[in-house]
Structure 1
Amino acid sequence: MDEKVNTNLTAKQAKKIAQDYQEKYKLYGVIHDDIEKSVKFYSEFYKIEGAAWLVLADITPKSYEGDDEITFVVSDREGVVDHILDHNGIPQRYHVPSNRDYTDEEFEAIFNDEDK
């Protein structure tokens, strides 16, 4: 942080929020203890109101294309993980229910309803 910006969270708190989220949703990756390397602050960040903390989780070794890390985007204003950038940089929101929570029968019923 070059300029002094008032924040609601510290880097340590942002790291803890990311670790709790990771544990709750059983997500992979290792958030290293070295806060200088694992936590970055941005006074503004795409799709976040106000400042954001990016907490990096190392996912090496990996057997697929993409980055070597996933990124927990923590809203400084709200003190929660807003979303995660997966190894391809695609936003994921594990705390928001999605279609992957439906059984095959429920999913098929939803799509059959839309076709009518």
Structure 2
Amino acid sequence: MTKQEALAIATAFQDRQGYKTTIDAGTDVRLYDSFEGVTGPAWVIEAPLPPSTFEGTNTITYVVSVAEKAVKFIINSSGFIKHPDRPDADFSDDELDELRDMGFDVLD
């Protein structure tokens, strides 16, 4: 996979998700032989976000698996990993029951 292919995959993912990052020729892109959470090599694309007063970095990092030819996950501006193929809250059924018992409204 070339750098341009990785950028195209990240751009398509960004568009589908509605992220407001900038991916262009000036975007920081690096190829790693291995990257935690990815089997095999991965392109890591650090795309800037619009200016904000929100604490955290000013980027979203897209991790593109070469083997899967897809965004495996992102690292949001707070440094948390988000998986595109999973819901935002990765709670087990027991954890959801515990939250309900504590009085939280949990959507099913």
Under a length normalisation based on structure 1, what TM-score does the superposition of the two structures give?
0.72
CA distance in 2, matches of 1:111, 1:18: 36
Please give the TM-score of this superposition, normalised by the length of structure 2. Answer: 0.77
In the alignment, which of 72, 75, 86 is matched to residue 62 of structure 2? 72
Residue among 22, 26, 40 paired with 1:30: 22
How many angstroms apart in 1 are the aligned matches of 2:69 and 2:54?
32
RMSD across aligned positions (CA): 2.2
Listed as ranges, the gaps of 5+ residues in structure 1 are 1-8, 100-109
- Runs ≥4 residues deviating over 4 A: none
Partner amino acid, structure 2, of 1:92? K
CA distance in 1, matches of 2:50, 2:18: 17
Q: Does residue 84 in structure 1 map to residue 84 in structure 2?
A: no
**Given that residues 20 and 50 in structure 2 are in contact (C-alpha distance below 8 angstroms), is that contact kept between their aligned partners in structure 1?**
no
Considering fraction of residues, name the structure with more helix: 1
Q: Give the fraction of aligned pairs with identical amino acids, expressed as a percent.
A: 29
Cα pair 1:32 1:38 within 8 Å, conserved:
no
- Preserved contact between residue 83 and residue 91 of structure 1 (Cα < 8 Å): yes
Contact preservation (8 Å) 1:58, 1:70: yes
For 2:87, give the aligned amino acid: P
Q: Residue 48 of structure 1 is aligned with which of 12, 17, 38?
A: 38
Q: Secondary structure at the match of 1:53?
A: strand
Unmatched runs of 5 consecutive residues or more in structure 2: 90-95, 102-108
Could you give the per-residue CA deviations for residues 11-58 of structure 1, whole angstroms, max 9, x where no partner exists?
A: 110000000000011112111223xx4211111101110011011210
Q: Secondary structure at the match of 1:22?
A: helix
Within 2, Cα distance between the matches of 1:89 and 1:98?
14
Equivalent in the alignment of 2:93: none
Q: How many residues align?
A: 96
